Amino acid sequence: MKFGIIGTNWITDRLIKAAQQHPDFNIGAIYSRSEETGKAFGDKYKVRNVYTDMVQMFQSGDIDAVYIASPNAFHAEQSILAMENGLHVLCEKPAVTSVEEMEKVIQAAQQHQVTYMEAMKSTVMPSFLNLKKNLHKIGPIRRFVFHFNQYSSRYDKYKDGIIENAFKPELGNGAKTDLGLYCLAPIVHLVGEPKSVVKSKYLLSTGAEGQGSMILSYDEFEAVIMYSKISDSYSANEIQGENGVIEIDKISGPESIIIKYRDGKTEDLSVPIDFDTMYYEVEEFINCVKNNQIESTINTHEISLQVAKLLQ
């Protein structure tokens, strides 16, 4: 399958490195607003088809699908344009910046009968899928405590007065969309939408969210999430139940998942991985295209819509 690549940043490099482990992944073309940047990126991956006109790339016949890793504010518009040209879309998270955008994206996928999937890697990783099968073992759930706090490599520049994209809310960026999303999506995957939400946030001078927290209320339990781009945390994530606790190493890419029962016994739910963590989202997407599915049965359109509501 020939992919068009939109975005020439570090996340694109990571995706390509992982995707190259899949036998059906090929890069057919690259788009960049700058011809120089596009050609440099193309040279790195031995890709000759480089475009500065997105529509021209979409209509070139060089690609079957597109991977979108542009700034968040452009995701919906570019996804819809690609689908209108008959291309399948794997779009980096967050897929959209509003519920209205997500509804339009879903409508486009249905109208043009192409695959659309939000590239949420954690929820298609083997250990997380095994967690879903074994969640019942801790008995009635009482609390989720998920967090993603990671001091941004760009924050020091921000404090020196250099504002990079990571702290520009007009591009859809901020701690909640960049990091909090990794806490919200797994909860929705496991237990659905909450009954109500209480939010707290700290805004930087640009208006971008530096850190925040949310309490999601359900009938018999709650979910507490914390996220930050201006501080770190090294504690584990937990799902607390009456019969035990499930401990998760990294909510953004769960590999180690252990049940600690109240009687002192433990059970390892971890599934060894043979590939880069981003491989699994590519595999799921390619399988959907092969099976003529407009959406993944894991990273569904409805879940992306529910998460968009929580982000908004």
| Per-residue model confidence as pLDDT tens digits over 281-310 | 999 999 999 999 999 999 999 999 999 999
Tokens of 216: 């999601």
As a whole number of angstroms, the distance between CA 307 and CA 312 comes to 9
Tokens of 79: 């996804």
> Which distant-in-sequence residues (6+ apart) come within 8 Å of 225 by Cβ?
144, 146, 147, 180, 183, 184, 187, 213, 214, 216
The amino acid at residue 280 is Y
pLDDT of residue 112: 98
Nearest to 249 by CA among 80, 151, 128, 135: 128
Q: Where are the alpha helices (DSSP H) in the chain?
A: 10-19, 35-44, 54-58, 75-84, 99-112, 126-134, 155-159, 175, 181-191, 279-290, 301-311
Task: Give pTM, 2 decimals.
Answer: 0.95
Q: How confident is the model at residue 60 (pLDDT cuts 50, 70, 90)?
A: very high
| Per-residue model confidence as pLDDT tens digits over 228-272 | 999 999 999 999 999 999 999 999 999 999 999 999 999 999 999
Tokens of 82: 């690609």
As a whole number of angstroms, the distance between CA 142 and CA 156 comes to 38
Place of tokens 């968040």: 72
As a whole number of angstroms, the distance between CA 280 and CA 246 comes to 23
